[in-house]
A and B are shown apart, each in its own frame.
Chain A
Amino acid sequence: MNRRGFIKRISSITGAAAFGVAPKKSAPQQGRSEESLAVLVDTTLCVGCRACEQACNEINPDLPLIPNDFFNDDSVFKRRRRMDTSAFTVVNRYQPDNSVAPVHVKFQCMHCLYPACVSACLVGAMTRDAGGAVVYDEKKCIGCRYCIAACPFQVPAYEYTLVLTPRVRKCTFCLKTCLTQGEVPACVAACPMRVMTFGPRAELITIGRTRIRKNPKHYIPHIYGEHEAGGTAWMYLAAAPFEQIDLPNLGYHPLPGYTEPVQHALFKWFLAPLGLFAVLAGAMWYNKRRNKQTEEDT
């Protein structure tokens, strides 16, 4: 086999692998969003009392118990917080350009319809429950923290301080604590302003649209999360531009739709490893023959 033939063969192998790689963006299946449970957050109502944070801390016994005073302390709003190992939800305060009064926004896991963390997890420790909750199984987790890197909303946190039993920590949608008992999530129940409405996703979208239509000047005419990243279970209404209240512009395609076609095509029929082995075998055979020839020549 000459040099030219060798290069030809290699390129044909890589070409085959690349053939299926053209990224296809999978569209949301219709059924998926209709069935699942969701929450609509109307940020225009929130007064920043942080009763939701407190309720979350109380309902999750494995979170470190935080004293009452912390939730009445207004000074936490001075900095922009994010979820960590001690809190599954946080309320931040923003001062958007178009508003005189500050705007409060509650953050937690968005429970995406097409979760990037589930797609990234190697061992299936992150799964999406049929009801809509994205749940974490610490028994399966190997601690690779790919979910943390994959999440576009920077939700999951990792217990770095626990050397032997670290876990990924994130909002559970109160799946075991409330939803299975037929109750609403603890934060939703605790909110005195009823900022959050819990229910089937399709109904919430109707409620959100009705609110916008009834008061068009009050709201940005968009439900954040209806389409973002393929749709999320937690959706937001706001009077301020969403970028200004830390809800990122992610586009409307499911994020796994960008990565999965590449990965799945690459490993289809075990093609990539086979290709690699074939290349290695070819190289071995070629080297062996060349050595043999040089031996013969000398």
Chain B
Amino acid sequence: MKKIIVGIIIFSGIYAFLYAAEPEPIPQQSAGAPACITDNETTAGSILLSLPGLEGGLKRPAVSFDHEKHTRALGESNCRTCHPDSLNNSLVFTFPKNPPDTDDEEALMNAWHNACISCHTERGAEAKPAGPLTCGECHVRATTRTPAKHVPILPSYYEPVRDTYHDECLACHNEPARTAQDAPVLDWKKFQVLQGSRPEPQIPQAGFDYQRHALHTSTLDKDCGLCHYLSEKKHRALADEGREPQCRDWQLEPNPEGAWREQDFAHARCVNCHFKRTANEEKKSGPLLCSKCHTSSARAPEEMLDVTRSNCEQKEKILIHSNESTIMDAVPFNHAEHQLRTQACQDCHHNGIQACHECHTVNGDEKAEFVTLAQAFHREDSTRSCVGCHETRKKKPECAGCHQQLPSSLTAADACVTCHSGSLEALNQKRSTAPPESLIAPDVQDTWQIEKLGETYKKVTFNHLEITRTLAAVCNASPLANYFHTDEMALCAGCHHYSPLEPRKPVPGCRTCHDAKAVNASGRPDLMGAYHQQCLGCHRQTGGTEEKMPQTCDGCHAHTQQ
């Protein structure tokens, strides 16, 4: 009994002590001490500083480095605080100033730490705005984002069917077996699946669009050599020919030991030039702050219609072809029209302005990362390919109403010859802009009533002529639509699918195929389903007003009860 009482006393003593000894609050930084920079101006964003190759892995989260914050704190023209000079007195945008000689990442880490912390300490001592000194203030765990990676597995839902339904898989995968011999080689394990989210670049790209190019050209008095590069050899060759370098003569700058990334070239050229012009107090100089070039909003092509496109001796209309023999005819291409609908040449051309077939060969080449000529033009998931860009265009509200119900452009029966016509003549063709009344069969009324709606709903007034006129207006408004809807009856195909269409000839009505009573065994909807899927499908995609394109029941047919 004695033992228990002693135990209780000791225990309660410890308990009381622990509660009494509450940690003292950490003293706040006094007013005089240097505070962290807290300017609320928006910056371009942060770069993630990480050393993935560090032995034993990273012990702390990577540093999310806000470059612009530092530029503002140090002053725009004090780049030399962090970046070293090169031989010809221009800046090299590497960090730190005195990098270690070895490739060892631990040495690099120490150099970073020395450079950052010494500066933070010095500035802190001088009571200037300075960065933090404790580890956890720089090494902040960023919002977790699972890095995207390609995993060589099928999605789990394929597992039960993986061996039996090869044709099912190949229906969607873009790379079907080309020959019968190929087919057995296809291994389902080789299908790669993207898992996780692709980390978005934290700083938006500095888009060099037509507007910026024109601005630079006029400011720099068309001295293209200030930005573009020409090798000694090419220089001499041009001098021998006795002509000035043209757009297509400019070359890619050689990469010293392959160590420079694309942005390193841009920074070396752009920022150095801006830096020098600012230092010489020239009238027009470019910005030095990150967010002035790295703007998050890109200029839409429509805003740059009046900007003169660079003259690279490009023809207005060209015939896209290959130097190798191909089975398909060449594609007429209106370069001038496409120039007006892109933000920069690089939207289609990668680096430089060569023709596509110079790198993309029929069988694929290392230069183009083995993207074949056919893929370069036809890949639906690319923003650079013809088909990819046109497919995106078809998702615009005014197009999607019809096109979401139609098969993809590559699977349509006459898809190939629409583009591969082989002559420039095709570019002159235009869809007939005749009034749509002239296409409709003579005995078709302008409007009619859809009846037999059961007891719940009243009749629907269906305005056939107005719908046709709207479609015609949409097609006439866009040169793209006008070019591709060559068949004047293409207007009608969105609704009258699977029907032969000829001007002024009667078209089979909906109920020819869609039975009023039963759902067809093949899953074809009955008449009510067909009406609703067709009408509402278009109305929902187009997103028009409730009055013109209703999306609710009462918008088309009134309730009988009310």
B-contacting residues of A (Cβ < 8 Å)? Answer: 40, 45, 47, 49, 68, 101, 191-194, 197-199, 203-204, 207, 209-218, 220-222, 227, 249, 252
Contact = CB atoms under 8 A, between A and B. Distances in A.
B408 interface: yes
Nearest to A227: B160
Given A45-B537, A194-B526, 13 more contacts: A47-B536, A192-B529, A193-B529, A194-B532, A204-B523, A207-B522, A207-B523, A210-B522, A213-B172, A217-B380, A221-B157, A222-B155, A227-B157
A192 B453 CA distance: 11
B521 A199 contact: yes
Interface string B148-172: 0000000111111100000010011
Contacts of B551: 47
Interface string B540-553: 10000000000101
B247 interface: no
B533 interface: yes
Contacts of B157: 220-222, 227
Contacts of B380: 217
B525 interface: yes
B528 interface: yes
| Residue of B404, B519, B536, B561 contacting most chain A CB atoms (<10 Å) | B519
B225 interface: no
A46 to B, nearest CB: 11
A198 to B, nearest CB: 7
A194 B518 CA distance: 11
B184 interface: no
B160 A193 contact: no
A211 B523 contact: yes
A45 B540 CA distance: 11
Contacts of A40: 523
Given A222-B157, A227-B160, A213 B171 contact: yes
A211 B553 CA distance: 26
B175 to A, nearest CB: 14
| Residue of A68, A193, A222 contacting most chain B CB atoms (<10 Å) | A193
B32 interface: no
B523 A47 contact: no
Contacts of B168: 209, 213, 221
Interface string B364-380: 00000000000000001
Nearest to A221: B172
Contacts of B530: 194
Interface string B2-46: 000000000000000000000000000000000000000000000
A194 B528 contact: yes
A47 B160 contact: no
B442 interface: no
A210 to B, nearest CB: 7
B519 A197 contact: yes
Contacts of B553: 49, 192
B407 interface: yes
Q: Which 3 A-B pairs have the closest CB atoms?
A: A194-B529, A207-B523, A216-B172
B171 A194 contact: no
Contacts of A217: 380, 408
7 contacts: A45-B537, A194-B529, A194-B533, A199-B519, A211-B523, A213-B171, A216-B172
A192 B532 contact: yes
Contact of B540 (A47, A204, A214): A47
Nearest to A97: B197
A216 B159 contact: no
A56 B519 CA distance: 20
A142 to B, nearest CB: 37
A153 B408 CA distance: 36
B529 A198 contact: no
B159 A252 contact: yes
Contacts of A194: 519, 525-526, 528-530, 532-533
Interface in B165-208: 168, 171-172
